Chain A
């Protein structure tokens, strides 16, 4: 952290990757990453709040430029949902997809803020020692989102097919309804239900975490002298530009998987 000195590179990295934690119980589960939650809630409020401010005054006539931009986003999400979900998408799936995309994009985009400058600001302005910018590089955040989608998946599965139909699918698909293949079916479905949230959350987490670590490694170069400063600035800029792609792509992938999982729950086997 700016202002403090690091003895070893792992000190530097460890410091930047430490969460601002509060504990309210003995068990390690009862800790909360204040930085992740605050950043996520703040970003969610700002991004969706801005969209809401525009949507509230949306006119069917000639739109303002801001409204046109929001409508572009709306159309983009709507088109994506339309291709994979065939039903009343406006009731839930499409707005949920918009939320996921915008929120994840905003959280990912925090990676562009220069880590050491932000650390200095947090330290000097808010007097916090540990503060991580990117909520999606916290596995808790990504897993919370994936788990939310997972519950929605089960909810819609039961809602659309009924509890009997859902259980039937659990035991009688994909191999058939013969009682001998029930265990195999059930095993397959359990694997599917476990692997979906894991792959969903870990894909995003891994990408964002790796991006952050690479920024840290590049930042560390700056400690090796004047040449290192220039070189790390150059590399940092390059990685940030490439990271634009990753940030947008991962947000898009996360949104698409959400839509696909939810429409699969609607379709059933």
Chain B
């Protein structure tokens, strides 16, 4: 229990040991731990950032998807409309064409009938003439009776 030189020796050892720790032991440990802490913090921050950007990208995706859906629906409806228009136009055109053809046919038929009537009239007048010739046994001059014949043909 007596104080002696041991005190000084131990104090010296204590001082050297503290110096050693302050100089050589603590700094590398602190550096390693703080670097790791920073790395972990950075990693966590990066993960958070990635999560956020993923959310944003998903949102964007959703938006563009809905926009394109809307657009495609518009395009389809437009196309349908256009098709209907084309069909209607075709229908009316066909109808006009058909009417035209029918009208042409009608007029042709009328012409044909007229022509046939004309021919028949001519034939009938011819027949009447020849019949009259036979009856009269003499030639009737066409020129002399043409007026009468024409009148007759008109009456037929």
B residues near A52, Cβ cutoff 8 Å: 20, 24-25
Given A99-B21, A140-B3: A56 in contact with B10 (beta carbons within 8 A):
no
B residues near A60, Cβ cutoff 8 Å: 31-33, 35-36, 39
Closest chain B residue to A27, Cβ basis: B4
Number of B interface residues in the complex (CB < 8 A): 32
**Cβ of A240 under 8 Å from chain B:** no
> CB distance B28 to A55 under 8 Å?
yes
Counting contact residues on chain A (CB < 8 A from B), the size range is: 35 or more
**Cβ of B89 under 8 Å from chain A:** no
Q: Is the interface of A mostly helix, strand, loop or mixed?
A: helix
Closest chain A residue to B12, Cβ basis: A144
B residues near A103, Cβ cutoff 8 Å: 14, 17
> CB distance B36 to A41 under 8 Å?
no
C-alpha gap A263/B8 in the complex (Å)? 25
> CB distance A95 to B26 under 8 Å?
yes
> How many A-B contacts at CB < 8 Å in the complex?
122
Q: Mark A138-153, 1 if CB is under 8 A from B, else 0.
A: 1111011101100000
**Cβ of B147 under 8 Å from chain A:** no
> CB distance B9 to A37 under 8 Å?
yes
Closest chain B residue to A30, Cβ basis: B5
Closest chain B residue to A148, Cβ basis: B14
C-alpha gap A31/B17 in the complex (Å)? 23
Q: Which of A28, A75, A143 contacts B7 (CB 8 A)?
A: A143
**Beta-carbon contacts under 8 Å, B80-124 to A:** none
Q: Mark A54-76, 1 if CB is under 8 A from B, else 0.
A: 01101111010001001100110
Q: Which of B6, B7, B18 contacts A147 (CB 8 A)?
A: B7
**Cβ of B2 under 8 Å from chain A:** yes
List 5 additional A-B contacts (Cβ < 8 Å) besides A60-B35, A71-B32, A139-B1: A33-B6, A37-B6, A41-B13, A55-B24, A90-B27
List 7 tightest A-B contacts by C-beta distance, closest first: A144-B10, A60-B35, A95-B26, A140-B6, A58-B32, A144-B11, A99-B21
